[in-house]
A = this chain, B = another copy of it.
Amino acid sequence: MGGKDHRLPTRARNKRAHTREVLTSGRPTAASPVARLENMASIADHLRIALDGRWREVRERTRAELASSPEFAPHHTPDLEQARAKTMRQMRLLASHGYAADGFAAEHGGTGDTGGAVMSIETLATSDLSLMVKAGVQWGLFGGAIENLGTQRHHEAYVKRTIDLDLLGCFAMTETGHGSDVQALETTATYDPATEEFVIHSPTPSSRKDYIGGAAQDARMAAVFAQLVTHGEGKGVHCFLVPIRDDDGNDLPGVSTSDCGYKGGLTGVDNGRILFDQVRVPRENLLNRYADVEADGTYSSPIESDSRRFFTMLGTLVRGRVTVGGSAAAAARVALTIATKYALQRRQFDAPKSDDEVLIMDYLVHQQRLLPLIAKSYALQFAQNELVSTLHALQAQGSDADPQEQRELEGRAAGLKAANTWHATAAIQTSREACGGAGYMAENRLVGLKADSDVFTTFEGDNVVLTQLVAKELLTAYADEVQTMSPVEWMRFAATTVSDVVKKRTAAQQIIQTLLDTRQDNEEDGSLFNRGTQLRMFEDREEYLLSTAARRLQGAMKREDDPFDAFNFVQDHVLHAAAAHIDRVVLEAFVAGIEECADDEAKDLLGQVCDLYALTVIEEDKAWFVEHRHLSVERAKAVTRGINERCRTLRPHAETLVDGFGIPESLLGSAMLDGPGTDAVRKATVPR
């Protein structure tokens, strides 16, 4: 070390020394030799195959399409007009390749691969969440309403045009005054037998359709949810196709659309509002698969109960909820990949016994921030795969599907939507913070992911309301009569009828039973890594919370004068029970997913990731486990130690784990990776 180096302070000098060293010897890693990391490449492939699951081919195809065109490169386009135009260009490009056919039955002009349709829309989220939402609205929600609520006349007239984007539609359910409580929608569709038309009307300011994707600009037709009134009688909410704009994009008579303008993100989606002033549509525009109105106004339906009919209709639209959860999870995986790759390049503060600074991924606290979220992403993806399979199977059965299974699917979809979207909010936020100032620059993508995905906890059902829905199904054993009840009402019902809560295993029943039978419940630290023990803890918590929720409900309803007070007294307990149920479902799916993995090394790694997931869930609810004697005080401390231990053993595999998410490099869209301030460029460009 000679020349000018002595003029620099020690720490700057060390950096120079390091720079020279890596020029000749390659990147040093604190945690493991380079050779070992390289061996892992193939493990990442196995992880990806495991995570991709049954619809791997669709995922691969969609990824390849997104990676192949510059039009799909992640972008930051803050201007509303430009962003919307860009999203429409992307949509047309997709449509030109027949992208949307999977979502529609072969006899309507599609290919009928429901699961594939969900997976391909989810994969769009890795490129652009505005595109994912726009595609989801056009093909999933609008197209899905026609496909699932309509009959032949609608399929013939609209499906092909919807797939091709000849017809742009929107899904007009939410109103300014009513989001979560769909049954209380105020828009009316009053049948007029004189002209054989429905009159669509917004009677109050709060009945305005609001936040509707496509309503501000692009949509020509709306699938409108409204209270059907015929012969002076309300028949509940039904769906109607209502043209809203002419070919030039002008509002049709009686229709007043407006623009929601800028939102937190999703700038490429033209959310808007619609007010109807006595807008007339032909009788045939009622999507009449589950109910019809004859020319004289006579109402008929194969489903007698108003509420059952309503929920049957809603149930066929569950795909939207499934897609939103999966897409949020996809966005979270992109964020975690970016943050992890950055943490493997970025150094800060001197390392002891080294001329180099410490890679931030080597700090335990940094590992604790990222690795549990990566583990949860793995867990949720296995659960999501299972959910999509169930959805696919039930939608293939159409009207023959078992109603009980359909209700379970809806509960599962609600729970996983909440879990996935809350996870996405947390994971993307943490990823941003873990990248410091660089994470805040738009060119590094994390803030865009955050801004775009933030509303996912709200749309397709507010997460708290959805979690409550999970509890409702569990506590009332899927009783038909509760569907139409308000939260207070169904809890009251549950209090009077609840008996034994049904527990049904989800996946890989036999493996799980074996694991449970061989569990180790002793007080040694080691047993917390035993899968059977973990499963048992998840199960026990769920069972206990559900049965005590039922008992508390009964007690509260007896004790409190006001049923609302009784409801409030147990609401958090009930939500807790539902969350515990979802956690169990997710863990079981993880276990089943590991079992499917063909490669032993990858399987072993997945096992460690599963440990981290399970222990993190226990840690987050540790006080409950201790308070209810499901965990001794000593074992509780061992949970924390176990998490740290798994962070340590997984640290050398951090890159492998995020590579397993399979995001093509061109879709990461983060300028800081390999930029100045990271190892990559320091090596390449620092002058000697």
Q: Which A residues form the contact surface with B (CB < 8 A)?
A: 6-12, 15, 19, 30, 76, 78-80, 174-181, 183-184, 186, 188, 190, 203-206, 208, 210-211, 227, 229, 232-236, 260-265, 348-353, 357-358, 362-365, 368, 425, 429, 432-433, 436-437, 439-443, 446-447, 450-451, 454-455, 457-459, 462-464, 486-489, 492, 562-564, 568-569, 571-572, 575, 619, 622-623, 626-627, 629, 633, 636-637, 644, 675-677, 681-682, 685-687
Contacts and interface: CB of A to CB of B under 8 A. Distances in A.
A263 B210 contact: no
A176 B76 contact: no
B486 A457 contact: no
3 tightest A-B contacts by CB? Answer: A264-B447, A9-B234, A262-B442
B352 A489 contact: yes
27 contacts: A12-B186, A15-B186, A76-B262, A78-B78, A78-B262, A174-B437, A176-B676, A179-B436, A180-B436, A184-B357, A203-B687, A206-B681, A208-B676, A211-B437, A211-B440, A211-B441, A261-B441, A264-B440, A264-B446, A264-B447, A352-B486, A362-B568, A363-B571, A437-B459, A572-B644, A626-B636, A627-B637
Contact of A447 (B451, B629, B687): B451
A569 B261 CA distance: 50
Q: Which residue among A208, A365, A562, A627 has the maximum number of chain B CB atoms within 10 Å of its CB?
A: A627
Contacts of A575: 365
Given A232-B6, A572-B365, A564 B351 contact: yes
B263 A563 contact: no
Q: Taking the full assembly, how many copies of this chain does it contain?
A: 2
B488 A349 contact: yes
Contacts of A458: 433, 436-437, 439-440
A455 B682 CA distance: 26
A432 B429 CA distance: 14
Given A15-B186, A260-B441, A636-B623, A682 B365 contact: no
A168 to B, nearest CB: 21
Nearest to A364: B568
Contacts of A358: 488, 564
Contacts of A261: 441-443
A527 to B, nearest CB: 18
Contacts of A433: 457-458, 463
A339 to B, nearest CB: 13
A432 B447 contact: no
A7 B637 CA distance: 63
B9 A236 contact: yes
Contacts of A188: 8, 12
Contacts of A622: 623
A440 B454 contact: yes
Contacts of A462: 436
Given A78-B262, A179-B437, A350-B488, 8 more contacts: A7-B234, A176-B676, A179-B436, A264-B440, A264-B442, A362-B564, A436-B458, A440-B458
A183 B78 CA distance: 37
Contacts of A227: 8-9, 12
A16 to B, nearest CB: 9
Given A7-B233, A357-B184, A636 B644 contact: no
A352 B571 contact: no
B11 A564 contact: no
Given A486-B350, A623-B626, A437 B450 contact: no
Contacts of A30: 564
A632 to B, nearest CB: 10
Contacts of A349: 180-181, 184, 486-488
Nearest to A633: B627
Contacts of A488: 349-352, 358
B572 A229 contact: no
Given A176-B676, A204-B682, A206-B682, A425 B429 contact: yes
A179 B627 contact: no
Given A9-B234, A264-B451, A685 B626 contact: no
Contacts of A352: 486, 488-489, 492, 562-564
Nearest to A206: B677
Contacts of A351: 488, 564
A629 B623 contact: no
A359 to B, nearest CB: 11
A184 B571 CA distance: 53
A264 B450 contact: yes
Nearest to A229: B7
A181 B637 contact: no
B644 A633 contact: no
A440 B425 contact: no
B184 A11 contact: yes
B348 A179 contact: yes
Contacts of A78: 78-80, 262
A295 B447 CA distance: 49
A619 B622 CA distance: 11
A619 B76 CA distance: 40
A661 B104 CA distance: 54
Contacts of A183: 11
A29 to B, nearest CB: 13
Contacts of A10: 234
Nearest to A80: B78
A357 B183 CA distance: 13
Contacts of A186: 12, 15
A23 to B, nearest CB: 13
A439 B463 CA distance: 14
Contacts of A569: 364
B263 A441 contact: yes
A205 B9 contact: no
Contacts of A429: 425, 429
Contact of A627 (B357, B492, B626, B681): B626
A204 B208 CA distance: 58
A175 B347 CA distance: 13
